[in-house]
Amino acid sequence: MAKDGAEIIESGHAAIGPTALKAPTIRLPKILRDPFFVLASTVLTAVFLMALFADLIYPTDPLDMVAMPFLWPGDEPEFPLGSDQLGRDLAAGIVHGSRASLLVGFASALMGLLIGTTVGSVAGYFGGKVDLALVRLTEIFQTMPTILLIVVILAIGDPSVWLIALSIGLASWPMIARLSRAEFMRLRGADFVVAARGLGYGTPRIILSEILPNALPTITVAASVLVANGILLESAVSFLNLGDPNVVSWGSLIGAGRTEIRTEWYLSGLPGLCIVFTVLSLNIMGDRLTDILNPRSALRG
């Protein structure tokens, strides 16, 4: 009997041996195993932190003349990215310029989202003559060249960061309006909307509480495109010397260095690379958001 007990104990020890106590394998979500998503997230995080802590990284005014003109990157450790034709620190300009570029990108995207979602939701929900009138209004704005509309608005007012963001937002909302209109037309006949009407919900409540949350995934993905377009359009406006002269942005740095592009290409090339990586990262994030918000996507696993 004791022998049988010993065998049971030994078999028990074998059952809880190294094989049985093997640690479970931790698997990351599929989206975190996507190298492009990780790279884009890293770049955007670095840009956001750079803009947030710009005053700590470079406490001085980026418009101050602090060095000899035309220092190339690496010539002096104090100015790692060199200096421009006026002796201004290019690294300080890039760090502080990220603030203006991101501010214009996100502010213009928010403006475009508010206008476009409002117009598209009203047109898609009510249909009929209301839809026809708002679609015609959207087409009028779409037929206008975007950069021309922005230039006209800036020529009327005093160029500033907020006016640039406003003008870009006014020029970019038609895309959101068409997307939200299509979503509202698709969802207005859904069962949950019919049930909400049967319960006596008012039109504003149905639009804001029932249909809009279900249309948000598509609109959210489009928002990343708006931010990227806002950064590019701000760069184009600043390149044309129509930006705020008192604020440094990546576009103004490119515009300031264009006259020396043949000899000192880094003056325009380095800020241009910042725009390229930021916009590319935003586009990658938009693509991945499409996969994440799609219930049939494999990346949700």
d(CA 258, CA 85): 11
Q: Please compute the mean of the pLDDT values over residues 282-287 and round it to a whole number.
A: 88
Would you call 76 helix, strand, or coil by DSSP? strand
Which residues, in sequence order, are CB contacts of 51 under 8 Å at separation 6+? 95, 98, 99, 102
Confidence band (pLDDT; 50, 70, 90) for 20? very low
Tokens 């409002």 — which residue? 118
Per-residue pLDDT tens over the stretch 45-65: 999 999 999 999 999 889 899
d(CA 182, CA 138): 13
Q: Does domain 29-54+100-300 have CATH number 1.10.3720.10?
A: yes
pTM confidence score? 0.82
Domain ranges of the chain: 29-54+100-300
**DSSP assignment string, 91-123:** HHHHHHHHHHHHHHHHHHHHHHHHHHHHHHHHH
Q: Please compute the mean of the pLDDT values over residues 182-194 and round it to a whole number.
A: 90
Judged on CB neighbours under 10 Å (0-12, 13-18, 19+), 53 is exposed
d(CA 82, CA 271): 12
DSSP state of 71: P
